[in-house]
C-alpha cells in the first residue's frame, strides 16, 4: 500500500492505493473516508501522485496502466503501458516457457 498527501500543502486530502487495486481518498483532519474507487487497477496500485493544486490524481498499477482521476476519484483517462510477450524454448525435450511484462 502507498499514499500521498496533497491539497496545496494544506494536507486536507490523503490518497491511498491498495494491493486490491482500490484507491481511497481520506480527510486528513478527521481520518474519514471521503471517496473510494474500487478496483481502480486490476492488480496492486503501485504509484500515486496528487497534483500540486489538489485537483487531480495520477495512479499506476501492476496491471501496466496509468490512470488520471479527479480528486473525488472520478476517472479522467487511462493509459495502457504494459507490453506483454511470451518466449518459448525447449531443452532436452522439455518445453520451457516464460511470460514477460515490461
Q: Spell out the long-range contacts of 63-70 with Cβ–Cβ below 8 A and sequence spacing 24 or more.
A: 63/21, 64/101, 65/41, 67/40, 67/41, 69/23, 69/37, 69/40
Percent pLDDT > 70 in the chain is: 69
- Low-confidence stretches of the chain (pLDDT < 70) are 1-11, 82-102
Q: What is the pTM of this model?
A: 0.69
Domains, the chain, with CATH or none: 2-101 (2.40.10.480)
Amino acid at each position: 500500500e502507498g499514499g500521498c498527501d496533497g491539497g496545496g500543502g494544506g494536507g486536507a486530502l490523503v490518497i491511498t492505493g491498495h494491493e486490491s487495486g482500490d484507491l481511497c481518498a481520506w480527510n486528513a483532519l478527521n481520518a474519514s473516508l471521503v471517496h473510494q474507487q474500487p478496483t481502480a487497477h486490476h492488480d496492486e496500485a503501485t504509484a500515486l501522485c496528487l497534483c500540486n493544486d489538489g485537483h487531480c490524481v495520477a495512479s499506476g498499477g501492476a496491471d501496466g496502466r496509468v490512470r488520471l482521476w479527479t480528486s473525488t476519484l472520478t476517472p479522467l483517462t487511462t493509459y495502457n503501458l504494459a507490453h506483454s510477450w511470451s518466449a518459448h524454448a525447449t531443452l532436452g525435450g522439455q518445453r520451457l516457457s516464460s511470460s514477460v511484462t515490461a
